[in-house]
Amino acid sequence: MKRFLALCGFFVLGIGSGSAATIPIYINNSPSFVATNIDAVAWLNRAYFGVATPTGVPFEAKNTRFFTNGPASTGSLYPAGTMIVDPGLRFFRNTNGQRFWMDHWVNQGAIVTDHASSFSFGSSVFSIFDSRQSILQVAATNIVSTGPLFSGAHGLIRLEGKNINLTRNGLRTGSTSVSDGFGLSSLGQSNYLNDVGITDVYWGAGTVMPLILPVRAE
């Protein structure tokens, strides 16, 4: 009996020691293209972060109290400080299956959320930004953003906090104008997209002709 209990205790201890622990800080110094599991008290993004979640739900980190997105760079295919996530990002302190506010959230670069549907035509791959499910949501006691925040035409930008500073900042929902960095041809960036549940009944192109309606004599 004692041997059985000892084996059970060893088995439980083995499970506990094998589980991943929350690290003090996660630093992204090189371009990321995979939605990796981030379980850290602090998250610092210094590079390009362009991912699409395999589950189709917004990307979230775990146990994160502090987040900083560094300044955006220019002149690069994968600019630092640029985050493009399909379909979206949620910034909470996710602990034990519950969502709490983070302590500090700082953005000095550019954050874009949108949803893209891809299809092939011949040897080309096209990406259409249809914006379904796109969301950028931040919940933190202190929010400071000096860089632009984007979401798709059907998207949502939601900032919840006690102290929010958006001085000289831009917030925009609309067709995505930032390159996805994957070398795909993007369609729909300059076109209007109907809201979800609204369908075009008729459209046409050509010379504008006056519409004459019959008038009934009274």
Q: How far apart are the first and last CA of the chain?
A: 103
Checking if the pLDDT of 68 tops 70, the result is yes
Q: In what order do the strands lie in the sheet with 110-113?
A: 49-52, 82-86, 110-113, 149-151, 171-173
Mean pLDDT, residues 141-169:
94
Q: Which of 153, 135, 50 is nearest to 89 (CA)?
A: 135
Enter the pTM of the model: 0.72
pLDDT of amino acid 161: 98
Mean pLDDT, residues 158-176:
90
pLDDT of amino acid 162: 98
> Is the separation of the CB atoms in 127 and 115 below 8 Å?
no
> Is the separation of the CB atoms in 56 and 133 below 8 Å?
yes
Three-class DSSP category at 152: coil
